[in-house]
């Protein structure tokens, strides 16, 4: 399970250090792709395989399903760690997530989210009513 928040920077070659707390569960090779809300999603290979199976089951006749699968897979990159625990973020993903220098990595159970520091602060300072969201989740049995 991934949890916690870590702030760091990318270098001039778009390499980021994966926090040591995440490395063991992530493995040496993993998938980095476009996420929702303007961040990147980072999946261990086993979790990516589970997600891939679910996405393949979506009906091809559903326009929204096709759009989501295109969005998700078109940004997917298999990446790996170097000896210093760094990985390269492809330029297209940096542009998508508006990552320039400062980033925040957060653990979200089965995945890691990578945010530009500015977007993460904007999200946290938005008027999201987490109390109402929690109430709705409890109605779903969570």
**pTM of the entire structure?**
0.91
pLDDT tens-digit profile of 90-132?
999 999 999 999 999 999 999 999 999 999 999 988 877 878 8
Domain ranges of the chain: 2-117
Domain boundaries 2-117, corresponding CATH code = 3.40.1550.20
pLDDT tens-digit profile of 24-64?
899 999 999 999 999 999 999 999 999 999 999 999 899 99
For β-strands 77-80 and 102-109, DSSP reports them as: unpaired
For β-strands 77-80 and 86-88, DSSP reports them as: unpaired
78-101 mean pLDDT: 96
Note the pLDDT of residue 68.
Answer: 92
């Amino acid at each position: 399970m991934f949890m916690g928040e870590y702030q760091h920077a990318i270098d001039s070659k778009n390499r980021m250090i994966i926090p040591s707390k995440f490395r063991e569960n992530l493995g040496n090779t993993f998938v980095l792709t476009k996420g929702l809300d303007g961040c990147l999603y980072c999946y261990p290979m086993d979790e990516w395989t589970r997600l891939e199976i679910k996405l393949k089951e979506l009906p091809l006749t559903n326009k929204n399903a096709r759009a989501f699968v295109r969005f998700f897979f078109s940004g997917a990159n298999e990446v790996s760690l170097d000896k210093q625990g760094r990985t390269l973020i492809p330029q297209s993903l940096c542009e998508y997530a508006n990552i320039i220098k400062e980033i925040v990595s957060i653990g979200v159970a089965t995945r890691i989210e990578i945010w530009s520091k500015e977007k993460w602060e904007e999200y946290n300072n938005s008027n999201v009513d987490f109390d109402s969201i929690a109430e709705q989740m409890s109605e779903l049995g969570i």
